[in-house]
Amino acid sequence: MFKHTWQYLLALLVGFALIITVLIVLAAALIYPNLPSLDTLTDYRPKIPMRVYTADNALIAEFGQERRAVVSLATVPPMLPKAILAAEDERFYQHGGVDTLGVLRAAVSNVLSRGAKEGASTITMQVARNFFLSSEKTFTRKLNEALLAIKIEHALSKDEILTLYMNQIYLGQRAYGFGAASLAYFGKPVQKLTIAEDAMLAGLPKAPSRYNPVVNFDRARLRQLYVLRRMHELKYIDDAQYADAVAQKLVIRKAQQNGVDVNADYVAEMVRQTMYERYQDAIYSSGMKVYTTLLKRDQEAANQALRQGVLEYDQRHGYRGPEGFINLPAADAERQSALDDALQDTIDVNGLQPAVVISASSKRVQVYSKDYGDISISGTGLQFVQKALAATAPSKLAIRPGALIRIQKLPQAQAWRIAQIPAVEAALVSVDPKTGAIRALVGGFDYNRNKFNHVTQAWRQPGSSFKPFIYSAALEKGFTPATLVEDAPLTLTAAQTGGEAWEPKNYEGTYAGIVSVRTALTKSLNLPTIRILQAIGPVYARDYVTRFGFDAARTPPYLTMALGANSVTPLQLATGYGVFANAGKLATPYLIERIVDQNGNVISQTAPEKLRQAIDPRNAFIMTSIMMDVVRRGTAAHAMQLGRNDLAGKTGTTNDQRDAWFAGYQSSLVAIAWIGFDQPRSLGSGETGAHAALPIWMKYMGSVLKGVPQTLPPAPSGVVQVVINPLSGLPVSPGQSGVPEYFDQESVPMRSNTPDTPTDPLSVPDGTPDASKPVAAPEAQPSDSSIPAF
């Protein structure tokens, strides 16, 4: 039997050699001259996806069917090429494209095993196949592959061929080349790979789907161990390196993780749409890099602030019950299958992991997560759902075995809590008021759940956050911060409101009598604001606010505009507040800073835009001084917890608490926070701008302004500081006590000898001082360069 086998082998080898000889002669005469040109290889231009970055070079997203990160032999760790050779072609540097010894060895192995189980493709042959040929298993294709490999070997050096292979080969997870695979599987550049990770990647070319560690880690691990063993046998690694590599525990990046440096999905989609309009499908393969105006630290702070604010709101309004229920089979094998099936299509939503309840009591809940396995939750982790764990809980609310719920990892190691996906939405955007550069943008709680960008697409009523624009218009018409206005009930006709008759009220339902303009805005009083709009005229106010970038068509000229019954987007509101922050100049927001081609050439650069003087700088300064009072002692006084004296802004709450806003700024940054439901409904009693939106703004600004020196805006020429009698709003006589106030020097009221004489026919004094500690009156004089702490 053994003798006959060897005779069979010998005859086979002799015949095989004769066939090869004949084929080579025929190929040289007929096929070789007709092989395709190697221009594709000598001028290699891989399909590289478009990548989007922050201004400080953090990756936001990539768009393209093929993930690529082109590498060179000089930049990869030295063990990676050796791992590839050990796995795929140990004689690569000895053969001429076709490894004759390898072919003979494979033939012998296949005959002995009675089947075609071992191939003999060299790295060069794989390059030929990947660039020029199909994957069909025919003799003609194999012959062409071998001849092309020989042609490639004559045209390129070994290192050039290996570089092409390392960048072109498909390795699963949409990753082409080892640079992209390193990011896809390990979340780090190829330069930081360990020997164990080198071996894992080197094992993929044989069968990327079969050895994909994300899909089947155990099978991938066996392939990795084979590669490490071959590296050890070939003396590429010594005993200690081999032992360390075998022992290393690999951490594989999960399939849903996208390998970015900072999460900014809404920004990424904005960029993709803009780029597609310019370059069409070329963006997916030409390797362009788009650098945005975002800053990594700002975007991360915005993500965290919005997430925390939404989850805190959700906690305040109770548990709504499990997302669904599944039947749990009694048998362990069937139960595991049911658990995996139930969780297969559910995704993580901003850190809220899907899980199925295995057992539940008021003290402990056992759950199964597809990413974390069995988890036990107790103590504070159950506080949010205590009512759902009670024996009397309604069936739709009850947490019981089979319930599909959400769990959230707490800051403490290995600690979890039961949570839920919030029903409410939110948005946060920040802009540099001096340039218009967008520094952070979060369009919603989770892009994968809701792709609607609330920063740019949500037209919502701004509520009282719109009042500063009405007050700015009033200053333009001759009002001053000291002008007295009546805070008393008012009835408006349908013609005045553009709808139905209206009896507006203040938020707390009380009235202060006579107040100054400064107090009216600081305390966000509705009735004085409506009277101010009556005095200046709704049409004038509508035309005036367009200077800030608002749409006239979405700002009907009715008195309801005083309370923000018009429509704006958060980005529009940021633009408008930027005018106050930038001494009256309007900077148009922009997102794309520059576009760079595959070779590093800048093909588009955002040119600095000449800023437009939207309002008088004196007006902007005085409005800022009032909005600083909003923060210091008005509706946004909680913001003083940040320990800064240079913040200004305004809360906003719409009718029935359907929208909550905070719009605020420091001289270097404007930020807008909004929270509400997509289908407008009440946020709940007490959920005002100060309670629901301001904490988001504070969390963000507190983070990004850390270490930024406090900066008070300088007073422009023409602004004077005058000591006034708060009872009358008029300057006091020299030597008399009063409070300091800012005025445009053209609008300083005339001094009166009667301190309590009103200056506005709509008001009478109420005896309430508008500012704090009285001071002795000097003559009217230009203001100093900073705003005093009133």
In angstroms, the CA 669 to CA 431 distance is: 6
Active site residue 118: no
Taking each helix axis from N to C terminus, what angle separates 158-168 and 123-132, rounded to the nearest 10 degrees?
A: 50
In angstroms, the CA 229 to CA 212 distance is: 19
Phi, psi dihedrals of residue 786, rounded to the nearest 5° = -140, 165
Residue 67 near residue 47, CB atoms below 8 Å: no
Which residues, 6 or more positions from 329, have their beta carbon under 8 angstroms from its beta carbon? 335, 337, 338
Q: Helix, strand, or coil here: 62? A: strand
Active site residue 779: no
Q: What is the DSSP letter of 693?
A: I
User: Which one from 88, 153, 197, 687 is the annotated catalytic residue?
Assistant: 88
- Of 103, 96, 93, give the one whose Cα is nearest residue 151: 96
- Cα 298 to the chain's mean position, in Å? 10
In angstroms, the CA 61 to CA 292 distance is: 11
In angstroms, the CA 162 to CA 657 distance is: 64
Long-range Cβ contacts of 73-76 (<8 Å, 24+ apart) = 73/159, 73/162, 73/163, 73/166, 75/190, 75/191, 76/166, 76/178, 76/190, 76/191
Determine which helix (DSSP H) or strand (DSSP E) holds 488, and give its type and residue range. none
Query: What's the alpha-carbon Rg for the chain, to the nearest Å?
Result: 35
Alpha-carbon torsion (293, 294, 297, 301), positive or negative: positive
User: Which one from 464, 747, 763, 783 is the annotated catalytic residue?
Assistant: 464
In angstroms, the CA 381 to CA 102 distance is: 60
Taking each helix axis from N to C terminus, what angle separates 467-476 and 570-581, rounded to the nearest 10 degrees?
A: 40
Phi, psi dihedrals of residue 481, rounded to the nearest 5° = -60, -20
Counting Cβ atoms within 10 Å, is residue 246 exposed (0-12), middle (13-18) or buried (19+)?
A: middle
Alpha-carbon torsion (438, 443, 299, 468), positive or negative: positive
Residue whose structure tokens are 């029935």: 656
In angstroms, the CA 319 to CA 35 distance is: 68
Residue whose structure tokens are 């922009």: 590
In angstroms, the CA 310 to CA 274 distance is: 29
Taking each helix axis from N to C terminus, what angle separates 123-132 and 79-88, rounded to the nearest 10 degrees?
A: 90
- Of 345, 371, 357, 354, give the one whose Cα is nearest residue 407: 354
Active-site positions read 88, 464
